[in-house]
A = this chain, B = another copy of it.
Amino acid sequence: MKVELGPKNCLYPLPTILVGALVNGKPNYITIAHVGITEPAAVSLGMNKVHYTNQGIKTNRTFSINIPSITMVKETDYCGLISGKDKNKTDMFKTFYGQLKTAPMIEECSINMECELIQIVDFPNHDLFIGKVVATHCDESVLTNGVVDLGKVQPILFAMNDRSYWSIGKKIGKAWSIGKEFKK
């Protein structure tokens, strides 16, 4: 039986990421899970305007996406509890840079993407940052035959429904393929 929940956003889980940006000249990291892919080469971050990081992204027009594994869930959640306004989070991780000199990345995360800001969609309380992926760095240990394997990445999945983090399960089928077995 269907029940009505009101206008409740249930588009979960989404991957929990650490967004890196230079703010006032220093690397800062913030936990964000209201993310998306806007077109194959671009990503979006829905970030409340109160966050300290937003001004860094606006100033430098670059940011990084770092994907922590479930072994980093405490550090990851911590970065969402404490603002860079109040605490310098730089020392929590080993920072490195790639092509973009203003997109600090986290060595301990197995996937790091450098992004260039291409557009900001303005919402009353949120900035939607849309960025183009410029370069991706990855731990060799999460590849299987040269392809990123989520079973090895072990990303932290987020659901607002129960305000919880979840792990990934198993591979259940090939896209653009398993549907061929469907017969009506």
Contact A133 B178 (CB under 8 A): no
Q: Which of B44, B92, B133, B182 contacts A74 (CB 8 A)?
A: B182
Contacts of A139 in B (CB 8 A): 1-3
> How many residues on chain A are close to B (CB under 8 Å)?
98
Contact A6 B136 (CB under 8 A): yes
Q: Which of B169, B181, B184 contacts A167 (CB 8 A)?
A: B169
Contact B172 A136 (CB under 8 A): no
Contact B149 A162 (CB under 8 A): yes
Contact A135 B6 (CB under 8 A): yes
Contact A12 B15 (CB under 8 A): yes
**Does A150 belong to the interface (CB within 8 Å)?**
yes
Interface residues, chain A, with chain B CB atoms under 8 Å away: 1-15, 17, 34-44, 46, 65, 67, 70, 73-81, 91-92, 96, 107, 111-113, 119, 121, 123, 125-126, 128, 130, 132-140, 143-144, 147-150, 155-182, 184
